[in-house]
Amino acid sequence: MRYSTFGSPPHGWRPSNNLLGFGTALLAGAFFLLHAQPPSSPVLVAMNAELARTQAKLKSQPVPPYYLSYEITETHSIGVAGAFGKLQGSGDYRNRQLDVDLRVGDYTLDNTREVRGEMNYPQYSTTVVPIDNDPDAIRAMIWHQTDASYKRALDQLTKVKTNVQVKVAQEDKSVDFSREAPEHYSEPIVDVQVNRAAWEDKIRKYTAPFARYTNIYQASASFSAAAETRWYVNSEGAVIQTSQPAFRLFIVANTKASDGMELPRYESYFGFSEKDLPDDATVLKAVDKMIHDMEALRVAPVVDTYTGPAILSGRASGVFFHEIFGHRVEGQRQKNSDDAQTFKQKIGQPILAKEFSVYFDPTTRRLANTDLAGSYLYDNQGVKARRVAVVENGVLKTFLMSRKPVEGIPQSNGHGRKQVGMAPVARQSNLIVEVKPSAVQPDLKTLLIAEIKKQGLPYGLLFDDIQGGFTFTGRTVPNAFNVLPLMVYRIYPDGREELVRGADLIGTPLTTFSKIAAADKNVAVFNGICGAESGGVPVSASSPAIFVTQIEVQKKAKSQERIPILPAPFEGGK
């Protein structure tokens, strides 16, 4: 079974080894491509020296490594968090972590191959390394992790070879690891510096309005500025240094209806620089809308189960495509024996209306006046990022690929990604939906009302804002998706709109894809963190609003806890 989630970044801030989750972005400043070895840094000196020593020492072993890579990631994060007008936390944190990928066997068959019939855990090693630029100290940590990785890899290769002998032949005959040309690249190391005191005041200001409402039970905001520097070397000769800043502001509030239903609202902002975040007036306007929305949701009627036509706003459509499609075109899923492989045999076949195309492009850093969180220069396997046209004119062309080949696609296309401490697999980056003018309609509401009347239904639905979603891609559970809306409206034949609550957008991919009929021309962006096998990675999904002739809605899970018995201790509380 494969389970993945996509949504806004977690609220609150605290020092953590996973602060990478606050986002990855392209360097805003200059960069340069080296035609030879990048300029040495103490970290690269240590990594290269230990890589060379390890290769020399282990080549005499009966089963030497055929491939070895080191990646050290340094994250410098400044964070501020607060709730109801008061500060909860503020800090500055820096750490470095080493990830080791060591492979024994050969490119055809190695220790990373799936052991069918067993739970498969990533054969990957990670450890914290010193933030001081002391090559000897760094090398000591690399040595220890490499030795442990080598021993585990030998044990695992024995299991893999036994599994190959006793199980039926694998359907996919492709090799275990692709050969890629080594990249040499370096850009200047950047850092983030912000006025933390000023952001402490902003967080107080952004969360203070919520304190005036005794039926809002959670209201917090977090700001983070993070610089991520990655040093990467491998035994094929790759040497890469990238350094990328990211800035995030996240606001979350939650109320509760009298029947126990939780009613959250979120606002999130992402940028490559501090100036890309909105000004105070914009944020406070969004806070006022969040409060208004929650007040309206508390008294809105609960939606019934429904099947019929709907409009998905651009943000909702982006998450819809991310869940329904994006995870099912990640390359390793076409090879895993437990995966449903929804689109494996569909290359060259139409899967969408001919006016629709979908591509993933980590090299695009801005779209629709919004920075894209899924941007990067090189993936976590040292492969250069590139634009991948997965669907062109409705026809499936390829899959997102790491260095794990599948039949017919022997090379990576720069989408081997991971959270620090995890093993890389093929993951999404910046998903972008493009629609030809022939499928663009200026007023999707008119189409929706016409379809309501055609199907003889009392109303249709508009999914206006979205929290995120999740999907299952395995064979042992229904191969379905669930998109989690926040703001949903009934649209009646006379054009009247009514806010409702408690709807989850569900379905199966092939059926739902066949019902997408039109789009508008207003592209919107959803930036978030996607969680799957290789951890949480920053992604974006961009799409115009779409019209779907048939979707299905189920009732959202609902808490059975009553609203608070005690009144709030502030404002109207007694």
Segments of the chain assigned to CATH 3.30.2290.10: 7-299
Q: What is the pLDDT of residues 439-465, one digit of tens each?
A: 999 899 999 999 999 999 999 999 999
Judge whether residue 396 has pLDDT over 70.
Answer: yes
Q: Which of 25-34, 381-390, 427-436, 555-564 has the lowest mean pLDDT?
A: 25-34
Q: Which fold, 7-299?
A: PmbA/TldD fold (3.30.2290)
pLDDT confidence bin for 25, thresholds 50/70/90: very low
**DSSP assignment letter at 1:** -
Tally Cβ neighbours within 10 Å of residue 109: 15
pLDDT of residue 40: 67
Which helix (DSSP H) or strand (DSSP E) does residue 513 occupy? helix 509-513
Count of H-run helices and E-run strands, the chain: 7, 26
Q: What is the pLDDT of residues 188-238, one digit of tens each?
A: 999 999 999 999 999 999 999 999 998 999 999 999 999 999 999 999 999
CB-based contacts of 44, cutoff 8 Å, min separation 6: 38, 231, 233, 239, 241
Q: What is the pLDDT of residues 539-573, one digit of tens each?
A: 999 999 999 999 999 887 766 777 776 777 765 44
Judge whether residue 250 has pLDDT over 80.
Answer: yes
Compute the Cα dihedral for 377, 383, 387, 391 and give only its sign.
negative
Mean of pLDDT values over 293-302: 96
Q: What is the pLDDT of residues 96-145, one digit of tens each?
A: 999 999 999 999 999 999 888 776 766 666 899 999 999 999 999 999 99
pTM of the model: 0.89
Judge whether residue 468 has pLDDT over 90.
Answer: no
- What distances in angstroms separate CA 250 from CA 27, 215, 263, 358, one per listed residue? 22, 21, 17, 28
Q: What is the pLDDT of residues 71-85, one digit of tens each?
A: 999 999 999 999 999
pLDDT of residue 479: 67
- What distances in angstroms separate CA 426 from CA 1, 23, 148, 349, one per listed residue? 16, 18, 25, 22
Q: How far apart are CA 177 and CA 107, in angstroms?
A: 5
Q: How far apart are CA 74 and CA 387, in angstroms?
A: 27
pLDDT confidence bin for 5, thresholds 50/70/90: low
